[in-house]
Structure 1
Amino acid sequence: MLYPELFKSMESVRWNMAADIPWDDFDRSKLTDEQANTIKMNAITEWAALPATEMFLRDNREDSDFSAFMSVWFFEEQKHSLVLMEYLRRFMPELLPTEEELHRVRFEFDPAPAMETLMLHFCGEVRLNHWYRCAADWHTEPVIKAIYKIISQDEARHAGAYLRYMKRALGDQNQVSAAQARMAFSKIGVLMASAHRTPQALHPTNLHVNKDMFPNDTVQSKLPEPGWLERWLDTQIRFDKDWETKVSGRILHNLSLLMGTAFETVQDLNRYRKELVRNATSSGIILPAAN
Structure 2
Amino acid sequence: MLYPELFKQLEAVRWNMDTDIPWSSFDPARLSDDQAHTIKMNAITEWAALPATEMFLRDNREDSDFSAFMSVWFFEEQKHSLVLMEYLRRFRPDLVPTEQELHEIRFEFDPAPALETLMLHFCGEIRLNHWYRRAAEWHTEPVIKAIYETLSRDEARHGGAYLRYMKRAMGKFGDEARAAFAKVGVLMASARRTAQALHPTNLHVNAALFPRDTIQSRLPDPQWLEHWLDKQIQFDAVWEGKVVERILHNMSLLMERSFASVQELNRYRKELGAQLAAQPQPAA
Cα RMSD, aligned residues only: 0.8
Among 224, 230, 235, the alignment partner of 1:228 is: 224
Instruction: Indicate whether 1:256 and 2:236 are aligned.
Output: no
Distance in 2 separating the partners of 1:282 and 1:94: 60
Number of the residue aligned with 2:187: 191
Q: Deviations over 1:133-189 (max 9, x none)?
A: 0000000000000000001000000000000000001111xxxx2221110000000
1:244 aligns with 2:268: no
Runs of 4+ in 1 over 3 A off after TM superposition: none
Of the three residues 175, 199, 206, the one matched with 2:202 is: 206
Structure 2 partner of 1:289: none
CA distance in structure 2 between the aligned counterparts of 1:27 and 1:199, rounded to whole angstroms: 36
SS of residue matched to 1:171: helix
Runs of at least 5 residues in structure 1 that lack an aligned partner in the other structure: 287-291
Cα distance in 2 for partners of 1:245, 1:92 equals: 34
Q: Name the CA distance, whole Å, in 1 between partners of 2:210 and 2:191.
A: 22
Looking at structure 1, the residues matched to 214 and 281 of structure 2 have their Cα atoms a distance apart, in angstroms, of 32
Query: How many angstroms apart in 1 are the aligned matches of 2:256 and 2:55?
Result: 30
Q: Provide the secondary structure at the position in 1 that maps to 2:246.
A: helix
Q: Deviations over 1:170-217 (max 9, x none)?
A: 111xxxx22211100000000000111111000000000000001110
Number of the residue aligned with 1:5: 5
Aligned to 1:55: 55
Q: 2:57 matched to 1:21?
A: no
Q: Which residue of 1 aligns with 2:65?
A: 65
Task: Map Cα deviations across residues 45-82 of structure 1 (whole Å, 9 max, x no partner).
Answer: 00000000000000000000000000000000000000
| d(CA) in 2 for partners of 1:282, 1:113 | 21
Letter in 1 for 2:8: K
Whichever residue aligns with residue 222 of structure 1, its letter is: R
SS of the residue corresponding to residue 67 of structure 2 reads helix
Q: Using structure 1 for the length normalisation, give the TM-score.
A: 0.96
| Secondary structure of residue in 1 paired with 2:174 | helix
Structure 2 equivalent of residue 270 of structure 1: 266
- Please tell me whether residue 81 in structure 1 is matched to residue 98 in structure 2: no
Q: Distance in 2 between matches of 1:3 and 1:285?
A: 34
Quote the offset at 1:284 in angstroms. Answer: 3.4
Partner residue in 2 for 1:216: 212
User: CA-to-partner distance for each residue in 1:94-127, whole Å, 9 max, x for gaps?
Assistant: 0000000000000000000000000000000000
Among the aligned pairs, what percent are the same residue?
74
Structure 1 counterpart of 2:175, one-letter code: A
The aligned counterpart of 1:142 is 142
* Paired position in structure 2 for 1:36: 36
Counterpart AA for 2:105: V
Give the Cα–Cα distance (whole angstroms) in 1 for the partners of residues 258 and 280 of structure 2: 27
- d(CA) in 1 for partners of 2:277, 2:56: 29
What residue number does 2:121 align with? Answer: 121
Question: How many corresponding residue pairs?
Answer: 282
Supply the AA of the counterpart residue of 1:166: M
User: What's the secondary structure of 1:17's corresponding residue?
Assistant: coil
SS at the partner of 2:249? helix
